[in-house]
Chains A and B, each alone.
Chain A
Amino acid sequence: MNVLLLVGSPKGRRSASYRLGSMLAEGIRKRGAAVSKEMVHEGIRTEAGTVRLLDSVDAADLVLLAFPLYIDALPAPLIRLLERIAERRARVAAAGSPRLAVVVQCGFPEAHQCETAVGICRLFADRTGMRWAGALAMGMGGSVGGGPEKLPGGGKHILEAIGMASESLADGGAIPEAASALFARPLMPRWTYTLFGNLGWRMQLRKNKARRSLAYRPYTRE
């Protein structure tokens, strides 16, 4: 089985999406699959890179999309790739029917804020003849930048969810609902996340030696 991990974060290999997607892909690889990884933001910049991405999708039995939530949806370059995949698959009669699974994380505490993005991916799969294989969606995604194993408690439930998902995907199935529910479980209480998040923005501002406050308004209404 050929597995393709498409990373939709502009931060590429430095991103939480890459870490989470790679952990899922690695779990499937350990069960005998061949895995390749592509950074969408890099590839989509040129026509040659886009064609390489499209060829990779054509060669895959299972496509994993890993991306951060951008305004309730997918980042624009990933949407562009989906548009191009749909165009190619509409032209090619024997395009095959790979499975499509998704790993998405958002910066808000609530995992359910990823639901519209998951819905878009699911509809894409349906409209392009791909087979929907489920999603792992989590909130507080910014916390896993250093890897879930560095989280309090070792990110045990995330690792467990990814283990369940990779086993099922490797066996030709979809991500079990139990894995999705486990993955969506909050990493910490909401108040803790927002308190440290707000402190974090101020610390970043100071670190960057910004000359403006967080609330600065560069534009005014005439």
Chain B
Amino acid sequence: MKALVLDGSHEGDSLTSVAVLGMTSALAGRGISVELVKPRELAIAPCEGCFGCWTRTPGECVIKDDARGIVGSYVGSDLVAYVTPVTFGGYSSQLKKLLDRILLSVLDPRFTVVGGEVHHFLRYRRLPKTVGFGTLPSPDPDAERLFARLVARNGINMHQHPEVEILVGVTDPDAARRSAERLLDRAGVPV
């Protein structure tokens, strides 16, 4: 089994770094092979909104940079973990710049109905199960609710029901690992 961990931290974000440690350690403990991607260390241009990944080179972004190879890792994984500082209830810009480039290209542009709403078909028969692992320095119920909602909404786009966990003020890697374990259990990831 393979997992792709997307680390949405900015430089100097110790809380999210601890969360990444907790997640990678929990995955490794289950015998899962982990690929860790840190968008802040990669050359990733923002999505240009050109729909080239749908109508020029279907399935591949027309921008040739580090994001391209990550799409292959995403498709080849069984699990993808979004680890990110909860940013106004959403993802950090670091994580989002990667997701903007990955997620469109794994969808087929044609419309279908999912849960009563119009969405796109999946390009691949099977996509990795998503889990959201957010960090906050202190409790923030509004941000926590919105983050859970965002991950769930993204899940509808990918025809799945992701699980979410938020670490609040956690600086201890063992505590982060325990939270990651709970999240993986809820997501049905085998031990």
Contacts and interface: CB of A to CB of B under 8 A. Distances in A.
Interface of A: 9-11, 15, 41, 68, 70-77, 79-80, 82-83, 86, 108-110, 113, 116, 119-121, 123-124, 126-127, 190, 193-194, 197-198, 201, 204-205, 207-208, 210, 212-222
Is the interface on chain B under 10, 10 to 19, 20 to 34, or 35 or more residues? 35 or more
Nearest to B73: A219
B93 to A, nearest CB: 4
Given A15-B49, A72-B153, A214-B110, 15 more contacts: A10-B49, A75-B49, A76-B47, A79-B96, A83-B10, A116-B150, A121-B88, A198-B110, A201-B54, A205-B58, A212-B59, A214-B108, A217-B124, A218-B57, A221-B75
A79 B90 contact: yes
B121 to A, nearest CB: 8
Contacts of A79: 87, 90-93, 96
B60 interface: yes
The DSSP consensus for interface residues of chain B is mixed
B58 A216 contact: yes
A73 B87 CA distance: 11
Looking at B47, B71, B121, the one whose CB has the most chain A CB atoms below 10 A away is B47
Nearest to A12: B49
Contact of A210 (B57, B76, B123, B149): B57
Interface of B: 10, 46-49, 51, 54-60, 71-72, 75-76, 87-93, 96-97, 99-100, 103-104, 108-111, 117-119, 121, 123-124, 126, 142-143, 146, 149-150, 153-154, 157
16 contacts: A10-B46, A41-B46, A70-B49, A72-B153, A72-B154, A77-B97, A113-B117, A116-B150, A116-B153, A201-B54, A204-B51, A214-B54, A214-B58, A215-B58, A216-B58, A219-B59
A72 B72 CA distance: 23
Contacts of B46: 10, 41, 75-77
Nearest to B149: A116
B15 to A, nearest CB: 15
B146 to A, nearest CB: 5
Nearest to A80: B93
Contacts of A76: 46-47, 93, 96-97, 99-100
B13 to A, nearest CB: 11
Contacts of B93: 76-77, 79-80, 83
Given A68-B49, A204-B51, A205-B58, A74 B117 contact: no
